[in-house]
């Protein structure tokens, strides 16, 4: 018997399945910046790394085929800690239950969000909005797991940790639903 996951789980997966921005390089005439405690040349560069990481994650999620677990690896590449464990569990569970996902998520807003711990300079939080209006999650019986009153845009707080080994220098640690700024449709 196929168990039904509540919409919230599907909504979080959809929202999490949201992203690749590229970092803008400094021109050759730019002055040599002083590194920040995160190892980036400036706070702007640190934010750009966090944003690029999140967008790459969303792009990877948009490419996931639940019937082909090898497509999950690119998603895992952008996460660490709780976020990695959560997405591994979600994707594996959905695949095991023969769910399908159609459509793509689009990042509509990415802003710097205040962090709970101002003393932890190797982390950053982003307030994001992700348009999930075109995404559907279907169970093995062909029944949509998306509630009819789902918002077109999901608001999330994405926490990232800087990592020298990461492609853009940051990895996603956690996702949390949120209300407030920036406003999502």
What's the CATH number where 109 sits? 3.10.450
Pairing of strands 153-162, 170-177: antiparallel
Phi, psi dihedral angles at 175 (to 5 degrees): -125, 140
Other C-beta atoms lying within 10 Å of the C-beta of residue 156:
23
What is the total count of domains within the chain? 1
Measured in Å, how far apart are the chain's first and last C-alpha atoms? 37
Q: Does a structural domain hold residue 185?
A: no
Q: Does a structural domain hold residue 126?
A: yes
Average pLDDT of 155-176? 91
Q: Does a structural domain hold residue 84?
A: yes
Q: Does a structural domain hold residue 13?
A: yes
Residue matched to tokens 């709970």: 116
pLDDT score recorded for residue 182 = 57
| Percent of the chain residues topping a pLDDT of 90 | 56
Stronger pLDDT, 7 or 122, i.e. the higher one: 122
**DSSP E strand stretches across 106-180:** 106-113, 123-131, 136-138, 153-162, 170-177
Q: Determine which helix (DSSP H) or strand (DSSP E) holds 100, and give its type and residue range.
A: strand 100-102
34 confidence band (pLDDT: 50, 70, 90) = very low
Q: Does a structural domain hold residue 2?
A: no
Q: Does a structural domain hold residue 44?
A: yes
Q: Does a structural domain hold residue 27?
A: no
Q: Does a structural domain hold residue 74?
A: yes
Domain with 18 in it = 7-22+36-177
120 confidence band (pLDDT: 50, 70, 90) = low
1 confidence band (pLDDT: 50, 70, 90) = very low
């Amino acid at each position: 018997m196929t168990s039904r996951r509540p919409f919230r789980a599907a909504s979080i997966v959809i929202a999490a399945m949201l992203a690749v921005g590229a970092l803008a390089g400094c021109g050759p005439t730019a002055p040599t910046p002083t590194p920040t405690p995160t190892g980036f040349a400036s706070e702007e560069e640190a934010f750009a790394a966090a944003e690029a990481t999140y967008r790459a994650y969303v792009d990877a999620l948009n490419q996931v085929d639940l019937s082909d677990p090898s497509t999950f690896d690119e998603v895992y590449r952008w996460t660490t800690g709780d976020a990695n464990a959560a997405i591994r569990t979600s994707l594996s569970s959905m695949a095991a239950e023969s769910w399908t996902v159609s459509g793509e998520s689009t990042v509509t807003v990415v802003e710097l969000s205040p962090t709970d711990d101002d003393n932890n300079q190797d982390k950053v939080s982003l307030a994001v909005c992700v348009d999930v209006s075109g995404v559907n999650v279907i169970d093995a019986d062909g029944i949509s797991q998306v509630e009819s009153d789902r918002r077109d845009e999901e608001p999330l707080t994405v926490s990232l940790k800087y990592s020298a080994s990461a492609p853009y220098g940051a990895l996603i640690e956690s996702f949390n639903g949120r209300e407030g700024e920036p406003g999502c449709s």
